A and B are shown apart, each in its own frame.
Chain A
Amino acid sequence: MTIRNTLRDHGQRYRPRMACLKKTEKVLLEMQDPKTGVRSQPQRLVITTIPHAITGEDIIAWLADRFQVDTQEARTFGSMLVALGYIYPLQDHKRLVIKPDVSLYRFQTPYFWPTQQWPVEDTDYAIYLAKRNIRKKGILELHEQEHYNRLHKWMNHKWDFIVMQAKEQYRAAKERKKPDRVVFDCQERAYWVVHRPPPGTVSAMDYGLDRLTDPNSDEAKTPDFYERIMIFTQQSIMRPRVKSSVSIGALVKYCGTYNNHDPFLFKCLPSNPWLTDDVTYWNLNMPCVEIPTKMRVERWTFSFAELLSDPRGRDDFRLFLKKEFSGENLAFWEGCEDLKWGEAATIKEKAEHIYKTFLARGAPRWINIDGKTMEVTVKGLKHPHRYVLDPAQTHIYMLMKKDSYGRYQKSPVFKDTVKKAICPEEHNFSVAQLEQNAKKRRPSLSPIILRQMEKEQRAKMAANVDITQLCRFTTPIPHLAVYSGITDFPTATTSPSLTFLAHTPACPSPISVALDSTSASERRVEAGGGEGEGNPAARAPVCGNVSKSRMALSLRRLLKRGCTPATMFASLSPKCHSAAGTSSRIQPISPDQPSQPPPRRIGNFFQIKVDIPPECRIYPIESEDEEEESRSASRGGVGAKEIICPWESLTPQNGTG
């Protein structure tokens, strides 16, 4: 049986379950026992006496005895009983705490208990205020006055009823004996102090938002209900289980590791701001602080996740990776996080951007993931959603964790950070100083400002990205740096190329497959490549699946890279109809190689358009159509490469959407 709610709004209007209420009620009933319960005494007023008053100290003593706890805890428990409204104070009725002296309290009648399924109605409050108004001849407290006016406005249609009901209740109360009337008034007043607390007080009945479903109602046993139970139990059975020794061992290890870092359990340097009102601790541990604290740096060594989740740690790690030229891993990981947690409207473009920057062949910051993951990812990217890059992200994360993290901890970057980390001294505030601090409390920065700062930081970082990590497949474009925002061409490309050559992917990937294959056109490419060597604007024809190899370089740069383009192209020449199984499209790159096969328009897997502007320009990444491709192809010369996502290429070709 539920209380009918008069709002009929079908919205969130159910009080959430408050488990403490049922338990408190049991305790209350125990307290009533004439033999073992709390001792009661009569309250003497001028005219009469009212029985069943209990003193604060009696309550606390009883609680301490019943639950075998110390006085302080019993006092807290007693205060909770008062705050919830099961016991009300007779003196100082607005402060809902228990005082361990002879101040008097009384039990609240069960009608006014805050039991779970009885919501507190505004109508009742309006009636109560009207009654108080009658009694006190129009003098209500300020907040009550405000409530009254507000209710009058919102429940205007019922106002006649409310006033009448208030009068009738008042008259009915007069029929009772005086002491009973007093007691009833006290009870009602206490009830409303709990449920409509005066402003500035904290209410124990503050339960947050209302719920959509009624926690007290029985769920109808429909087939759906049973199906849900079945699914739940099946999943529980299928869940992987861990031996308790293992899981408990892990818990113990966790507790041991983090014990000193927990401000609740250990002292926090310089001082805990919540205790001393001194914000030095927060200032020293800002997300983007120059010099971190020793404790913070120590936390980075606990696990890779800790390092990444701390922005300062991530910065440090990024610096290390930059020195190691594997920063694209972290950048990719961050891009994936951004995709996962960002807005839904931007998912598509973010996914495209990430693909073009990290995953596609010839991508400026190509990451090394295995073929299967790459396949799955690219397939998923046709219909991007939040978690489409999850497999790749996990792969990269594990890569970083197993490989880079260990080296980071031994690296000079980290050692330097550790050396520079500060260990602040503990504050020793006197009582007077603590009071001073409390007075000087100021609110922290608004979250809007913080978010803006974060955004600026991110933009600055994006602008500063230094793409030094070029893989051997990447176009060594002179303007690659322009794309990323820096105009100086990374001169360290020599070493990366060598190192990258050494990094043969362990698992077969379309690229490696492509590498191994040759084709007739490639031989031509070779020839063309030889020709093109001397021609700074030379280009090799691109054949379907391999794009990066076709980038023409200036001879100087080629030599710098330490490998001849011819051999490179040869080794990287693709099989035209390989992994993707789609026909390739050959792009005529330079006009002096007309013998190349004409471009085929059937569905491509990869398509690299080589655009060779002689001058510096911003790297355009946008999907081009064939017209542009051919146009730019005819231009010739070394220049920026435009990566087209496979799903985009399908559009102009197949005419599908």
Chain B
Amino acid sequence: MPLVNNKVGNDCTVSADKALVDEKALVDSLIKVVACYRHLASCVGGCTDSLQLRDELRQTREKAQMLAVVIRDHLTSHLRNKRLPEVQRKEMEIHWVAFSSSLELLHVDMCKVFYIGDIFSSANTDTLVKTGIQGGGSEVAARALSLPDLNQAQSPTLPAGLESQERTTMEQEISQIDHMIDDMEMKVNVMRWMVEPHGPQYAEPLSSTDSASLALLSVDEEQPGHQPLCQRSQIFVLLLLFAVVLVAATLSICIVFFS
């Protein structure tokens, strides 16, 4: 029944399009949160490890899980809908793959944080590894939580008793993610080899200024032998310039004075 189909198809496509857009946004934000979580996780156990960091981690983690649950419900319901047109299905599958990969990355990071957090309790700062990091991860956490500025005025000091509770909640969350991944595989059958990505093989380079500055820093790093020399030569040049300026100034004053 073509007419009926068309009608249903139209409705379907419209809603599906909207759903696609929604989902893309959700998946993108999940990817962002996972990326931020990774940055924060890399600080655990280092010299900037603190209760604050742990709290930020917790908040980021909760946000990620919330997003994950929402996306999962959406995607599962859409992908199980047999009447989904092919184009949309393909898109959904790409989102699905992205979603499952993000979840897996999150799972890995959570396990690592759990394990490291176990070893390096933030109470005993003697054994924290001197990694060279100075700042905390507050900006990254702010980005993750999409807050303009993370209000750090109230530093969350968890009483000692709550730390163990924190650990158990973490364990539970990890197993939750575990189940979620398993669940997904059971419910929706996405054949990964059939999924074709749109994007380019090479990510386009982002704004040049940042990369340039970073490049500068890395160049500096790789030739530190030259550093003292550079510094000395720069200072020497500056001094020379200064001397020349001074001489010029005195000469001009003399001229003015004597003329």
Which residues of chain B have C-beta atoms less than 8 A from A124's C-beta? 105
Given contacts A46-B220, A134-B206, A175-B143, contact A165 B34 (CB under 8 A): yes
A465 CB within 8 Å of chain B: no
Which residues of chain B have C-beta atoms less than 8 A from A40's C-beta? 130
Is the Cβ of B102 less than 8 Å from the Cβ of A32? no
List residues of A (173-193) whose CB comes within 8 Å of B's CBs: 173-187
B171 CB within 8 Å of chain A: yes
Which residues of chain A have C-beta atoms less than 8 A from B206's C-beta? 134, 167, 170-171
Shortest beta-carbon distance, A158 to chain B, in Å?
5
A156 CB within 8 Å of chain B: yes
B198 CB within 8 Å of chain A: yes
B213 CB within 8 Å of chain A: yes
A461 CB within 8 Å of chain B: no
Nearest 8 CB-CB pairings of A with B: A110-B45, A168-B35, A52-B130, A161-B98, A157-B195, A160-B197, A175-B139, A52-B132
Given contacts A166-B203, A176-B135, A176-B139, contact A109 B227 (CB under 8 A): no
Is the Cβ of A173 less than 8 Å from the Cβ of B39? yes
Which residues of chain B have C-beta atoms less than 8 A from A177's C-beta? 134-135
Which residues of chain A have C-beta atoms less than 8 A from B196's C-beta? 156-157
Shortest beta-carbon distance, A519 to chain B, in Å?
80
B69 CB within 8 Å of chain A: no
CA distance A4 to B185 in the complex (A): 14
Is the Cβ of A159 less than 8 Å from the Cβ of B197? yes
Shortest beta-carbon distance, B234 to chain A, in Å?
9
Stretch among A100-108, A368-376, A421-429, A620-628 lining the B interface? A100-108
Q: How many A-B residue pairs have CB under 8 A?
A: 230
List residues of A (14-72) whose CB comes within 8 Å of B's CBs: 28-29, 32-34, 40, 43-47, 50-53
Is the Cβ of A110 less than 8 Å from the Cβ of B105? no
Residues of chain A at the chain B interface (Cβ within 8 Å) = 1-4, 6, 28-29, 32-34, 40, 43-47, 50-53, 90-91, 93, 104, 106-112, 115, 117-118, 121, 123-124, 130, 133-138, 152, 156-187
Which residues of chain A have C-beta atoms less than 8 A from B189's C-beta? none
Which residues of chain A have C-beta atoms less than 8 A from B203's C-beta? 130, 133-134, 163, 166-167
Which residues of chain B have C-beta atoms less than 8 A from A50's C-beta? 132, 134
Contact of A187 among B28, B114, B131 (CB under 8 A): B131
Which residues of chain B have C-beta atoms less than 8 A from A136's C-beta? 211, 215
B159 CB within 8 Å of chain A: no
CA distance A174 to B39 in the complex (A): 11
List residues of B (169-221) whose CB comes within 8 Å of A's CBs: 171, 174, 178, 181, 192-206, 208, 210-211, 213-218, 220-221
| CB pairs A–B below 8 angstroms (15 shown) | A3-B107, A106-B132, A107-B131, A111-B112, A123-B101, A130-B203, A135-B215, A165-B35, A166-B203, A168-B34, A171-B143, A172-B39, A172-B144, A176-B139, A182-B218
Is the Cβ of B134 less than 8 Å from the Cβ of A169? no
Is the Cβ of A135 less than 8 Å from the Cβ of B214? yes
Shortest beta-carbon distance, A406 to chain B, in Å?
64
Most buried by B among A51, A91, A161, A182: A161
B8 CB within 8 Å of chain A: no
CA distance A45 to B114 in the complex (A): 34
Is the Cβ of A109 less than 8 Å from the Cβ of B197? no
Given contacts A91-B222, A183-B131, contact A109 B101 (CB under 8 A): no
Q: Chain B residue with minimal CB distance to A137?
A: B205
CA distance A6 to B182 in the complex (A): 11
Interface residues of chain B: helix, strand, loop or mixed (majority): helix
Is the Cβ of A164 less than 8 Å from the Cβ of B210? no
Contact of A161 among B31, B134, B139, B217 (CB under 8 A): B31
Stretch among B13-21, B73-81, B121-129, B236-244 lining the A interface? B121-129
CA distance A109 to B195 in the complex (A): 36
Is the Cβ of B42 less than 8 Å from the Cβ of A187? yes
Interface size on B, residues (CB 8 A): 84
Shortest beta-carbon distance, B251 to chain A, in Å?
34
Contact of A46 among B46, B105, B227 (CB under 8 A): B227
Which residues of chain A have C-beta atoms less than 8 A from B202's C-beta? 130, 133, 138
CA distance A158 to B27 in the complex (A): 13
Contact of B129 among A45, A109, A185 (CB under 8 A): A109
Given contacts A137-B205, A186-B221, contact A123 B131 (CB under 8 A): no
CA distance A442 to B174 in the complex (A): 55
CA distance A107 to B133 in the complex (A): 11
Is the Cβ of A161 less than 8 Å from the Cβ of B97? yes
CA distance A193 to B94 in the complex (A): 31
CA distance A169 to B187 in the complex (A): 30
Contact of B132 among A163, A174, A183 (CB under 8 A): A183
- Please encode chain B, from 38 to 79, with 1 for each CB lying within 8 Å of some chain A CB and 0 for all others: 110111111100000000000000000000000000000000
Q: Chain A residue with minimal CB distance to B234?
A: A46
Is the Cβ of B224 less than 8 Å from the Cβ of A91? yes
CA distance A47 to B219 in the complex (A): 12
Is the Cβ of A90 less than 8 Å from the Cβ of B134? no
Shortest beta-carbon distance, B108 to chain A, in Å?
5
Given contacts A90-B224, A160-B98, contact A1 B114 (CB under 8 A): yes
Is the Cβ of B101 less than 8 Å from the Cβ of A182? no
Is the Cβ of A172 less than 8 Å from the Cβ of B140? yes
Is the Cβ of A182 less than 8 Å from the Cβ of B214? yes
Q: Chain A residue with minimal CB distance to B108?
A: A3
Is the Cβ of B218 less than 8 Å from the Cβ of A185? yes
CA distance A161 to B102 in the complex (A): 8
Shortest beta-carbon distance, A267 to chain B, in Å?
43
Given contacts A164-B98, A169-B38, contact A159 B201 (CB under 8 A): yes
Given contacts A157-B197, A172-B143, A182-B217, contact A111 B230 (CB under 8 A): no
Which residues of chain A have C-beta atoms less than 8 A from B42's C-beta? 109, 111-112, 184, 187
Is the Cβ of A51 less than 8 Å from the Cβ of B134? yes
Given contacts A135-B211, A179-B134, contact A109 B43 (CB under 8 A): yes
CA distance A123 to B106 in the complex (A): 13
B111 CB within 8 Å of chain A: yes
Is the Cβ of B130 less than 8 Å from the Cβ of A51? yes
B32 CB within 8 Å of chain A: yes
Is the Cβ of A6 less than 8 Å from the Cβ of B104? yes
Is the Cβ of B210 less than 8 Å from the Cβ of A174? yes
Is the Cβ of B214 less than 8 Å from the Cβ of A181? yes
Is the Cβ of B131 less than 8 Å from the Cβ of A108? yes
Contact of B130 among A2, A32, A104, A130 (CB under 8 A): A32
Is the Cβ of A175 less than 8 Å from the Cβ of B142? yes
CA distance A51 to B171 in the complex (A): 34
Which residues of chain B have C-beta atoms less than 8 A from A118's C-beta? 108, 111-112
CA distance A147 to B58 in the complex (A): 35
Given contacts A112-B42, A118-B112, contact A106 B102 (CB under 8 A): no
Which residues of chain B have C-beta atoms less than 8 A from A164's C-beta? 28, 31, 98, 199
B148 CB within 8 Å of chain A: no
List residues of B (91-117) whose CB comes within 8 Å of A's CBs: 94, 97-98, 101-102, 104-105, 107-108, 111-112, 114-116
Which residues of chain A have C-beta atoms less than 8 A from B129's C-beta? 28-29, 32, 107-110
